[in-house]
Amino acid sequence: MTEPSRAASRRAERAETMRQPIYIAMHAVIAASFIFLLQRYALSATLESSLLWALTFGVCAAGLAYMQSNR
């Protein structure tokens, strides 16, 4: 009876590990999209500047999400 519960817990651990990179990537994409739209349309910045800020915020958001997921 203990064998199925061990298998279930291993599956749950694997599922949690598989979801973590998806949430980190989603956090980065949403942050990058937000800052791009803010820079480009609300602040009327150039395309190059908007893309650079979006890349910067995306990387920072991914790093923050990674650090928070390892707490």
Distance separating alpha carbons of residues 18 and 60, to the nearest angstrom: 21
Q: What is the pLDDT of residue 69?
A: 87
Residues 14 and 44 sit within 8 Å (Cβ to Cβ) = no
CA end-to-end distance (rounded Å), the chain: 33
pLDDT in tens, 14-58: 556 557 899 999 999 999 999 999 999 999 999 999 999 999 999
pLDDT band of 71, cuts 50, 70, 90 = confident
pTM over 0.95: no
- pLDDT, position 55: 97
**Averaged pLDDT for residues 56-69:** 94
Q: How far apart are CA 57 and CA 55, in angstroms?
A: 6
Domain boundaries, the chain: 20-69
